[in-house]
Chains A and B, each alone.
Chain A
């Protein structure tokens, strides 16, 4: 029996929910005032709703189809899964995007797909949706397309003309894990796909930097490329994951590496343990990633403050790093430079900028600092101010314990 649009939507959104990518930020700014069409991007993405899993809904995230010729063990859509299958026509996706967008439900589309027939055929279908939105409907909103590894680079080229962002998922942090869980995928094909995207982004950015050019450079994925890694399905440690991300950032200039805690799926493969998704681990990895991308830490510094290769689940990795490097503290908030202040737990780029701006009004005291900083608790042991010194706090053996949640009481009387 033919499925209704709503039935397909329910199947194909469910099939897409394991992909962590959600951001709609970082692309070129544009609007529809000139074109009289629909859509804009303001540089920063907007989360239009939140699901009870705490994740933002910014894009219509769906698969074109959940039929797939691949048999990746961790994936709900693998060919050996008994999940119900459905397939949208490109026109149906276009209609959903426009209908949702005009009601201000979404920022745009994140379109992925199971691999049907061949990587090339699948990539063509994905690109057709983006083409139709842009060319036939003048859509100026955000479009993120999943790049099918092994698809012809010509098709990637076309996809990048319409999409804001392209992504290909690395999925697992090592070649060994891929071989074990995703027999049809190899890291080489994935890296090759990422390289193809980077090569074209480099060309686009290079042309844009050439100020003397008369012609506007041909737009190519102005929002860059990203990837996703599944955490907790295999035995790779956090250090392994941090190093792998650093390698991917350096190799392919990725805008983001998304981490997705391996989540039990309906009709799970027997090759995977039915575990609770390691959400805290995922959160700590994002914090570690943040340190590298925004706070000027090198991946190896973050890795250095781990234990047995794993991030501390009880305290955030920046605090863990500071505790492991106490000799560098306390820092004088009235004298330390920006780069150094960013290493203080509890201080982010915004508060550091405000601290530096406040210095011209005289020496910063504790009350001034507390009006700038969101929470003083993590900051206090690591700084000095005009009227404050942490004394011997930094040497305290129980410093970590002051931040960690209280140890769980064993059930003595149970």
Chain B
């Protein structure tokens, strides 16, 4: 029998060094006794460990992390089980995933218990103010009784969070202390080491009572997450029995109370709100833009984020009309800012046209889409939707009165000409639009969808040619 003395109940490093040597000497788990300070000395003195030969043992980082946590568990067998696992791991490196190995299952279970205990400690420690330190820093102290010996594991969290104040957490297994410089661990303490009262507690209790909705009483859901064993150190917990007892009567009271007379303030306020829905004037482009922002002429407004109105100088000589805003345009509220817009920008530049001098708009002003999973997929507007939206497009055309108009794609053409036209037949031709020249070409998103790179390059060049024709018209 080999006896290994450990320096403390949670002496993981001592265990680790001894376990490494023992494993190298081939000591069987059954032949090793791990003795912590609290364990009674065995009647038969064990032998010291034999000298270990040089060598390496296999232990993954995952195992070391889990073993370190397990060392803080109260299971009296923890060090023996960990050693048994080390021995087994030498032949079976993936042992920890084996749901039939009792030691691996134990390790997973105690890790879960430690994780939960740590989480509860992070949550349920309640600091009480304890005056100022000599250097003028605020001091706080807390008494806490964790289920396992986790004060050292939990302390770094409190250090990261409460750096700017001095604090001490006292537990029955030891204390942790932070002074702004270093984290120090000390001997166990008692509740009396911590102030009994804190001036802010009354405010906290008021908050706790007020945030509770008596119509939603669900006591078991509460106790599942905040077991009663923690209550004695939570100042607010003393209020719980009374809150539960009065909940039903309070909820019933709310249900039974007849509605009272509306506060007259409401009608005063209602009268004061501007009746901004009444008869907008439509004399300038800004008037029209404001009116269009509230457009409900067709059902498309219901799912779109906003009306994406045209953009550009009110006296632009060139007007470019697209089909409809896409996802990006819907979010930003501006036309041609998505992928098709970037395509258009490149082509305009190649054709020697200045986007900022043109007025850009769409035949339909609301984004129409079909949801697929977490995406919104653009859907073509129907002729009916285009025709509804012509109301706005016509107003824009009247007010901007461009010399040349470009229709990008069939929907734009329908919006402008009021009837369906075949883009493939009329592409690149100069047509008459109320006495002014207009030109039909494809929509840039068509170019983006072409899979064959050669075909796409060819089509892009044609697109630039079409735009160049518009430039020639402007120069004429």
Whether both chains belong to one complex is answered with yes
B24 CB–A CB distance under 8 Å: no
Q: With the chains together, A16 CA to B157 CA distance in Å?
A: 30
Shortest Cβ distance from residue B461 to the other chain A in the assembled complex, whole angstroms: 30
Q: Is the CB of A35 within 8 A of B163?
A: yes
Q: Would you list which residues of chain B between 235 and 252 have a CB under 8 Å from chain A?
A: 236, 240, 243-244, 247, 251
Q: Is the CB of A264 within 8 A of B218?
A: no
A375 CB–B CB distance under 8 Å: no
Q: Would you list which residues of chain A between 176 and 211 have a CB under 8 Å from chain B?
A: 184, 187-188, 191-192, 194-195, 198-199, 202
Q: A54-B222, A104-B125 are in contact. Are A60 and B207 (CB under 8 A)?
A: yes
Q: Among A60, A78, A250, A275, which residue has the most Cβ atoms of chain B within 10 A?
A: A250
Q: Is the CB of A38 within 8 A of B210?
A: no
Q: Among B209, B221, B234, which residue has the most Cβ atoms of chain A within 10 A?
A: B221
Q: Is the CB of A79 within 8 A of B266?
A: yes
Binds A, one of B71-79, B116-124, B385-393, B452-460: B116-124
Q: Would you list which residues of chain A between 248 and 281 have a CB under 8 Å from chain B?
A: 249-251, 253, 261, 263-270, 274-277, 279
Question: Within the complex, which residue of B125, B211, B215, B331 is in contact with A277, where a contact is CB–CB below 8 Å?
Answer: B215
Q: Is the CB of B213 within 8 A of A53?
A: yes
B206 CB–A CB distance under 8 Å: yes
| B contact residues, total (Cβ < 8 Å) | 92
Q: Is the CB of B306 within 8 A of A52?
A: no
A36 CB–B CB distance under 8 Å: yes
B475 CB–A CB distance under 8 Å: no
Q: Is the CB of B331 within 8 A of A103?
A: no
Q: Is the CB of A80 within 8 A of B222?
A: no
Q: With the chains together, A32 CA to B213 CA distance in Å?
A: 34
B450 CB–A CB distance under 8 Å: no
Q: Is the CB of A195 within 8 A of B333?
A: yes
Q: Is the CB of A246 within 8 A of B127?
A: no
Nearest opposing residue in chain A for B100, CB measure: A368
Q: A51-B211, A51-B222, A358-B97 are in contact. Are A103 and B160 (CB under 8 A)?
A: no
Q: With the chains together, A131 CA to B372 CA distance in Å?
A: 39
A413 CB–B CB distance under 8 Å: no
Q: With the chains together, A71 CA to B265 CA distance in Å?
A: 10
Q: With the chains together, A39 CA to B302 CA distance in Å?
A: 42
B43 CB–A CB distance under 8 Å: no
Q: With the chains together, A9 CA to B209 CA distance in Å?
A: 10
Q: With the chains together, A37 CA to B126 CA distance in Å?
A: 19
Q: Is the CB of B374 within 8 A of A250?
A: yes
Q: Would you list which residues of chain A between 361 and 380 have a CB under 8 Å from chain B?
A: 361, 364-365, 367-369, 371-372
Binds B, one of A42-50, A312-320, A390-398: A42-50
Q: With the chains together, A56 CA to B200 CA distance in Å?
A: 20
Q: Is the CB of B266 within 8 A of A357?
A: no
Question: Within the complex, which residue of B164, B301, B375 is in contact with A32, where a contact is CB–CB below 8 Å?
Answer: B164
How many inter-chain contacts with C-beta < 8 Å in the A-B complex? 255
Q: Is the CB of A38 within 8 A of B162?
A: yes
Q: Is the CB of B251 within 8 A of A32?
A: no
Q: With the chains together, A80 CA to B260 CA distance in Å?
A: 10
Contacts of A102 in B (CB 8 A): 127, 129, 138, 140, 162, 165
Q: With the chains together, A78 CA to B423 CA distance in Å?
A: 55
Q: Would you list which residues of chain A between 136 and 186 have a CB under 8 Å from chain B?
A: 138, 175, 184
Q: Is the CB of A54 within 8 A of B206?
A: no
Q: Is the CB of A371 within 8 A of B99?
A: yes
Shortest Cβ distance from residue A25 to the other chain B in the assembled complex, whole angstroms: 13
Q: With the chains together, A368 CA to B100 CA distance in Å?
A: 6
Nearest opposing residue in chain A for B212, CB measure: A51
Q: A6-B202, A10-B210 are in contact. Are A32 and B269 (CB under 8 A)?
A: no
Q: With the chains together, A51 CA to B236 CA distance in Å?
A: 9
Question: Within the complex, which residue of A31, A188, A275 is in contact with B301, where a contact is CB–CB below 8 Å?
Answer: A188
Shortest Cβ distance from residue A175 to the other chain B in the assembled complex, whole angstroms: 6
Q: Is the CB of A18 within 8 A of B213?
A: yes
Q: Is the CB of B219 within 8 A of A54?
A: yes
A338 CB–B CB distance under 8 Å: no
Shortest Cβ distance from residue B106 to the other chain A in the assembled complex, whole angstroms: 11
Shortest Cβ distance from residue A81 to the other chain B in the assembled complex, whole angstroms: 6
Q: Is the CB of A57 within 8 A of B161?
A: no
Q: Is the CB of A38 within 8 A of B157?
A: no
Nearest opposing residue in chain A for B293, CB measure: A188
Q: With the chains together, A48 CA to B204 CA distance in Å?
A: 12
Q: Would you list which residues of chain B between 245 and 272 have a CB under 8 Å from chain A?
A: 247, 251, 253-257, 259-263, 265-267, 269-270
Nearest opposing residue in chain A for B267, CB measure: A80
Q: Is the CB of A279 within 8 A of B218?
A: yes
Q: With the chains together, A191 CA to B308 CA distance in Å?
A: 13
Q: A53-B213, A54-B218 are in contact. Are A103 and B140 (CB under 8 A)?
A: yes
Contacts of A263 in B (CB 8 A): 213, 215-216
Nearest opposing residue in chain A for B239, CB measure: A52
Question: Within the complex, which residue of A40, A52, A104, A247 is in contact with B126, where a contact is CB–CB below 8 Å?
Answer: A104
- Chain B positions 171 through 208: 1 when the CB is less than 8 Å from some CB of chain A, otherwise 0: 00000000010000000000000000010101110111
Question: Within the complex, which residue of A51, A188, A358 is in contact with B208, where a contact is CB–CB below 8 Å?
Answer: A51
B145 CB–A CB distance under 8 Å: no
Q: Is the CB of B254 within 8 A of A265?
A: yes
Nearest opposing residue in chain B for A261, CB measure: B216
Shortest Cβ distance from residue A406 to the other chain B in the assembled complex, whole angstroms: 19
B304 CB–A CB distance under 8 Å: yes
Q: Is the CB of B160 within 8 A of A40?
A: yes
Q: Is the CB of A46 within 8 A of B122?
A: yes
Q: Would you list which residues of chain A between 1 and 24 have a CB under 8 Å from chain B?
A: 5-6, 9-11, 13-14, 16-18
Question: Within the complex, which residue of B99, B129, B373, B376 is in contact with A372, where a contact is CB–CB below 8 Å?
Answer: B99
Q: Is the CB of B99 within 8 A of A369?
A: yes
A-B contact pairs, 18 of them (CB 8 A): A5-B203, A13-B211, A14-B210, A17-B213, A52-B243, A54-B221, A55-B216, A57-B211, A69-B273, A79-B266, A105-B204, A195-B305, A247-B303, A250-B376, A251-B305, A265-B254, A279-B216, A361-B98
Extra inter-chain contacts (15) besides given A32-B164, A195-B333, CB under 8 Å = A5-B203, A33-B163, A35-B164, A36-B163, A46-B123, A50-B226, A54-B220, A79-B270, A80-B265, A105-B204, A199-B332, A250-B372, A251-B305, A251-B330, A298-B373
What are the 6 A-B residue pairs with the smallest beta carbon separation, nearest first?
Answer: A54-B221, A54-B218, A80-B266, A80-B262, A31-B160, A357-B97
Residues of B at the A interface (CB closer than 8 Å) are: 94, 97-100, 105, 119, 122-129, 138, 140, 142, 157-165, 180, 198, 200, 202-204, 206-222, 225-226, 234, 236, 240, 243-244, 247, 251, 253-257, 259-263, 265-267, 269-270, 273, 294, 301-306, 330-333, 371-376
